[in-house]
Copies of this chain bind each other. A is one copy, B any other.
Amino acid sequence: MATRDSKDPDLERSLTLLWSGRPQGRRGPRPRLTVDGIARAAVEVADAEGIEALSMQRIATELGYSTMSLYNHVPSKDLLLEVAADIGAGPPPDIGDPDDFRPAVRRWVAALWAGFRLRPWMLRVPFDHAPVGPHQLAWLDRLLRPLLAAGLSGRQARVAALHLTAVVRGTAQISLSLAAVNRTDDGVPRSDADLARILTGFLDERDYPALTAVYTAELAGDTAADTADEDPLPFELGFGVDRFLDGVESWVAANRPGADS
């Protein structure tokens, strides 16, 4: 049951690694390193210097051990990243009464968004299967509660949760990377409007009619007050989420007695 073997497919390994309640009474010297400690160090490094700086060597020196000792506890960097991502996710947010469907889901979305804003490196962790870590599943569980409470079936709730997760991730990937470019850029702080301005220079209106229409409108200062400051969802994310919730709401209202699809 060492960590230094078995390169079988994947899922089982992730699971045992992520959920390992240390089996008692092993031989050998007492381990001074732990999976958890290693992953926690990885999170610290990623928080401080981004995911590019995250090498096995970096983690090891951070902990004061040799690079290879990590491999006694973790079978590969990929798996380690998976554990780090689960730890990085942290415990799920409190979203209030799940029966209060809409605000509960909105709070969940806002929390995930805030999480990605806090740890942008989590957007870079490649994503190899459905979430299986304890924290990730706890997040999922919290989201499923209001969705089920709203009247969705199990299957529907599951895909709705997937939908929402994907939306937050995708939106964050685009919006937050823009912010990252801002940091490295010395001159102009780039923004949506800047992008629009640059692009319109390249676009031929005949090839991209809708796009040029949208961007020129955007440049004409359609930018509208960024709604309420207390709303933690930016328009970019909130509009889509709200439309989706509208749709879910009316759908459950219409299909109250009906079965699945």
Interface residues of A (CB under 8 A from B): 9-12, 15, 19, 124, 126-130, 132, 137-138, 140-142, 144-145, 148, 153-160, 162-163, 165-167, 169-171, 173-174, 177-178, 181, 184-185, 190, 195, 198-199, 202-203, 207-211, 213-215, 217-218, 222-225, 227, 235-237, 239-240, 242-248, 250-251, 259-261
CB distance from A62 to the nearest CB of B (A): 25
Given known contacts A145-B209, A156-B239, A224-B261, what 9 new A-B pairs fall within 8 Å (CB)? A15-B202, A141-B210, A154-B214, A155-B214, A155-B217, A157-B214, A166-B174, A224-B259, A250-B250
User: What B residues does A195 contact at CB under 8 A?
Assistant: 11, 129-130
What are 16 A-B pairs at a CB distance below 8 A? Answer: A10-B181, A15-B198, A128-B181, A130-B174, A137-B208, A154-B222, A155-B214, A159-B236, A159-B240, A162-B236, A162-B240, A163-B167, A163-B170, A167-B170, A242-B247, A243-B251
Q: Contact between B174 and A162 (Cβ–Cβ < 8 Å)?
A: yes
Interface of A (DSSP majority class)? helix
Q: A144-B211, A174-B127, A211-B144 are in contact. Are A9 and B181 (CB under 8 A)?
A: yes
The distance in angstroms between the C-alpha atoms of A208 and B214, with both chains bound, is: 44
The distance in angstroms between the C-alpha atoms of A45 and B67, with both chains bound, is: 33
